[in-house]
Amino acid sequence: MAALISIAVFGIALLYIELTNSKKIQLPLAVVGLLVTLGLTVMQWNHPSSSFNNMAVTDNYSVAFNASILLSTMFVVLLSAYYYEDVKQHVAEIMALMLFTVFGAFLITSFSNMIMLFLGIETLSIPLYVLAGSKKFSLRSNEASFKYFLMGAFASAILLLGITLVYGASATFQLSAISDYVNNTKQLPGIFYMGIILILVGFSFKVAAAPFHFWTPDVYEGSPTLITAFMATVVKIAGFAAFYRLFSSAFSSIATFWEPLLWGMIILTLLISNFAALLQKGVKRLLAYSSISHAGFLLLGIIALNKLSAGGIFYYTLAYSLATIPAFGVLILVKNHRNSDDSIDAFNGLAKKNPLLAIVMSVALLSMAGIPITAGFFAKYYIFVAAIDSGYILLTIFAVLAAVLGVFYYFRLLNAMFLKEGEAEKIKIPVVFGISLLITTILTLAMGVFPDYIIKLL
């Protein structure tokens, strides 16, 4: 509750800072806001409480996810100092919108009532529509923003119909009451099942899982790169936190109904994303497809639905965010120096003149591919263990094969950086930007070496 208020107050403060047009205090204010909120969030650790008439609960689960959302946002905000260096206007507004997005993310990590879930998803999405179009005069940004808006609004409507149908059957929005209803009813009505399917569809739109992923590559490519990094991390963390919370609490007793659906979705997601990623020429699009494939792995944690899942999903989303942010960060630098060329060829020979950038990018890519000593390896490992524990052996074998396929396209990029020749020049790394890249890289490695500390949290 305190964390929620703090992030909202800092967001509004940033809006008013924009009016005074003082560029110097924007970034510090945003960082301070995030740190204060992080402090307030961490203080709630092991102090479960409920707020808003029991419509939201703060437990260790939500605190852990909130902290990782705040961390990711912080790194993105640090990157923004360089990204918006030449932009005179609206920078504080962009940061404020990011904080409002985080506000929405907080709501959906800690909801215990469907109303909160809907409000959270909307508070998360609406600022993102604006952020995706924040390059006002770029047609591509316009297009990405509009597509995102259409798909987002469409998905919200579908999710809403699902919630309504579940309400129609169970006469409650409270998750625990829905769970009781499921346990105490012998013959569940058809609209309840229909509602679950629609909620599943709505969620897979939001977290970009196949077959509802088609908007993702376009939106990720068209949005400003920094915003793409923000969308790819925060939305994914919050989306999966909410996804798991909903399906593990309200609908866990009828898992036999929705697990086959999820099973099909996982197979489709892993297949489509990995094969499509192999064909991509642009790095941004490649990362977009890689993000879809990560959604596939994360769904594996949800389908497992045992005591290992929550920790596995948390570890995976954190590892994924810590890898995605530096990857997009390096992409921003390279793109700026190559006249906004973001093809894989733009990375040719990066290691010769810019070893630091190449190392940061390699660690990020290796983590995404799931190579040992990076966080990505244990992320996949824990998810697979959870899935095997619940008896999804075939599915896990399939996922392992998909992960191996994934290694190919990450190595295409590594190959370009280290082995190919290119007319590379020395790229100057801005200080704050470099700090953000460095910390994320170190954290990725640290998480890979000492995975126990994170996985034992949940």
- Min dist. Cβ of residue 25 to other proteins (A): 17
- Min dist. Cβ of residue 46 to other proteins (A): 30
Which of 222, 326 has the CB closer to other proteins? 222
Q: Report whether 313 contacts 213 (CB < 8 A).
A: no
Which of 235, 403 has the CB closer to other proteins? 235
Which of 279, 393 has the CB closer to other proteins? 279
Which of 15, 385 has the CB closer to other proteins? 15
Which of 143, 259 has the CB closer to other proteins? 143
- Min dist. Cβ of residue 403 to other proteins (A): 23
- Min dist. Cβ of residue 165 to other proteins (A): 8
- Min dist. Cβ of residue 182 to other proteins (A): 17
- Min dist. Cβ of residue 76 to other proteins (A): 21
HEC string of the chain equals CHHHHHHHHHHHHHHHHHHHCCHHHHHHHHHHHHHHHHHHHHHCCCCCEEECCCCEEECHHHHHHHHHHHHHHHHHHHHHHHHCCCCCCCHHHHHHHHHHHHHHHHHHHCECEHHHHHHHHHHHHHHHHHHHCCCCCCHHHHHHHHHHHHHHHHHHHHHHHHHHHHHHHHCCCEHHHHHHHHHHCCCCCHHHHHHHHHHHHHHHHHCCCCCCCCHHHHHHHHCCHHHHHHHHHHHHHHHHHHHHHHHHHCCHHHHHHHHHHHHHHHHHHHHHHHHHHHCCCEHHHHHHHHHHHHHHHHHHHHHHCCCCHHHHHHHHHHHHHHHHHHHHHHHHHHHHHCCCCCEHHHHCCHHHHCHHHHHHHHHHHHHHHCCCCCHHHHHHHHHHHHHHHCCCHHHHHHHHHHHHHHHHHHHHHHHHHHCCCCCCCCCCCCHHHHHHHHHHHHHHHHHHHCCHHHHCCC
- Min dist. Cβ of residue 18 to other proteins (A): 9
- Min dist. Cβ of residue 62 to other proteins (A): 21
Which of 68, 280 has the CB closer to other proteins? 280
Which of 215, 377 has the CB closer to other proteins? 215
Which of 60, 172 has the CB closer to other proteins? 172
- Min dist. Cβ of residue 160 to other proteins (A): 5
Which of 131, 379 has the CB closer to other proteins? 131
CA distances from 214 to 129, 201, 210, 249, 293 (A): 17, 13, 8, 29, 13
Which of 39, 190 has the CB closer to other proteins? 190
Which of 30, 92 has the CB closer to other proteins? 92
Buried b (16+ CB within 10 A) or exposed e, 248-270: bebbeebeeebbeebbebbbbbb
Which of 137, 453 has the CB closer to other proteins? 137
Q: Report whether 70 contacts 38 (CB < 8 A).
A: yes
Query: What angle in degrees, to the nearest 10, is found between the helix axes of 431-449 and 309-337?
Result: 150
- Min dist. Cβ of residue 215 to other proteins (A): 10
- Min dist. Cβ of residue 122 to other proteins (A): 5
Q: Report whether 120 contacts 55 (CB < 8 A).
A: no
Judged by the rule CB under 8 A, the positions of this chain that interact with other proteins are 12, 15-16, 19, 114-115, 118-119, 122, 126, 129-130, 133, 136-137, 139-140, 142-147, 149-150, 153-154, 156-158, 160-161, 164-165, 167-168, 171-173, 191, 217-218, 221-222, 280-282, 285
Residues 6+ apart with CB under 8 A from 263: 303, 392, 395
- Min dist. Cβ of residue 164 to other proteins (A): 5
